Amino acid sequence: MSLGLSRIAVKRALIPGLVLLVGVFASPLWAQVVGEKSDRPPSEGRYLYRSVPDVPIQSGPAEMTSLSALWRERPLLLTLVFTRCAGVCSPMLRSLKAAVASVGGAGWDYRILVLSFDPRDTLSDMAELADHVGVAGDPAWIFGVASADDIARIVRATGFWFEWEAASRQYDHPAMIIGIRDGRIMRFLIGGTIAPVRLNEVIRELRGEFVPAYPLPRKVLFRCFQYDPASGRWTPDWGLLLLLLPGMATILGTIWLFRREGAHRLSAEALGSHQDAFGASDPESRR
């Protein structure tokens, strides 16, 4: 009797654990946050020049390569997406496609690697996404998958993150493009819309060109000079006028004071001459 009760007790103790275990494996890959989630996009300064882990990537049924093999051929624009995304993934890729067409050089100066972080995604899913975006068959674009562990390594190295939202059955994640040259992070592009002028700046840096630092658009109200990354030229801005205004006011004030002092001196000399002339012509003044 006691043996039977002990078996029942053991079963009752094991059932909750088994249910929890089944629930964990039945849920999508990571229910917790993968990566370091924050309320703001990843800080470029924090991850700049970090090494990107070399991981195996499958880009076709019989096409296995590695991240290092790709960036050794030419610089990469890496973006992490998932094919079931009902939000920013497809619009971002379409925006990137338009910006790439505007800037040019894709396939020669750089390639674009689109990697899925969702373990449910297959090569067939990625091929459908490429077709949906309109870049299927374009050698400049690579759509691939990697193992969960390797994706986690890339996430940790780049500042990317994603979190499963049970209510929407979607992953929450930033829209992010990572510029990679010689295995290191060179620049970030954050947001669902990729401006050609911003992409051009990243491409120039991936080529090894010097790109001067300048404030982000609409982030600073007044600037001394405005830099155009498309042409590489500097032009004066309103901030320069504000910077010169105090000096100009000082110079003009000094000129005005000197002119006023000169006018007073001339007036005094003219008055003295007039008095001398008046005194010389008055006989009474001689007495």
Average pLDDT across the chain, whole number = 79
Whether the pLDDT of residue 126 is over 50: the answer is yes
- Ranked by mean pLDDT, which of 137-141, 239-243, 270-274 comes out on top? 137-141
**Cα 287 to Cα 95: distance, rounded to the nearest angstrom:** 101
Does residue 194 share a domain with residue 76?
yes
> Are residues 193 and 222 both part of a single domain?
no
DSSP secondary structure letter of residue 29: S
pLDDT of residue 199: 95
What per-residue confidence (pLDDT) applies to 116? 98
pLDDT (average), residues 124-151: 97
CATH number for the domain harbouring residue 49: 3.40.30.10
Of the two residues 124 and 248, the one the predictor is more confident about is 124
Q: What is the mean pLDDT of residues 70-89?
A: 97
Q: Which of 21-25, 148-152, 161-165, 279-283 has the lowest mean pLDDT?
A: 21-25
Count Cβ neighbours within 10 Å for each residue of 8-43 and write b for 16 or more, e otherwise. Answer: eeeeeeeeeeeeeeeeeeeeeebeeebbeeeeeebe
**Residue at which a domain ends, from 154, 183, 211:** 211
CA 65 to each of CA 56, 113, 143, 151: distance values in angstroms, whole numbers, following the listed order: 6, 12, 12, 15
Is residue 229 within 8 A of residue 214, CB to CB? The reply is yes
Do 233 and 285 sit in the same domain of this protein?
yes
Mean local confidence (pLDDT), 42-48:
86
Tell me which of 176, 211, 246 is where a domain ends: 211
Over 80: is that where the pLDDT of 162 sits? yes
189 shares its domain with 117 = yes
Radius of gyration of the chain (CA): 35
> Which residue, 186, 199, 201, 188, is CA-closest to 231?
201
Per DSSP bridges, beta strands 184-190 and 176-181 are antiparallel
Residues 86 and 202 both lie in one domain: yes
Q: What is the domain extent for residue 237?
A: 214-287
As a whole number of angstroms, the distance between CA 286 and CA 153 comes to 109
**What is d(CA 11, CA 37) in angstroms, rounded to the nearest whole number?**
39
- How many percent of the chain have pLDDT more than 90? 54
Label residue 44 by pLDDT band (50, 70, 90): confident
Closest by CA position to 35, among listed 147, 160, 204: 160
User: Between 27 and 67, whose confidence is greater?
Assistant: 67
CA dist 107 and 48 (Å) reads 24
Q: Which of 181, 211, 241 is the last residue of a domain?
A: 211
Q: For residue 36, what pLDDT is reported?
A: 74
Task: Read off the pLDDT band of 16 (50, 70, 90).
Answer: very low
Residue 39 forms part of a structural domain: no
Q: Given pLDDT bands bounded at 50, 70 and 90, which one contains residue 6?
A: very low
Residue with the larger pLDDT of the pair 43 and 273 = 43
pLDDT at residue 25 tops 50 = no
At residue 246 the predicted structure's pLDDT band, cuts being 50, 70 and 90, is confident
What CA–CA distance (Å, rounded) separates 158 from 178? 8
With contact defined as beta carbons under 8 Å apart, do 180 and 51 qualify?
A: no
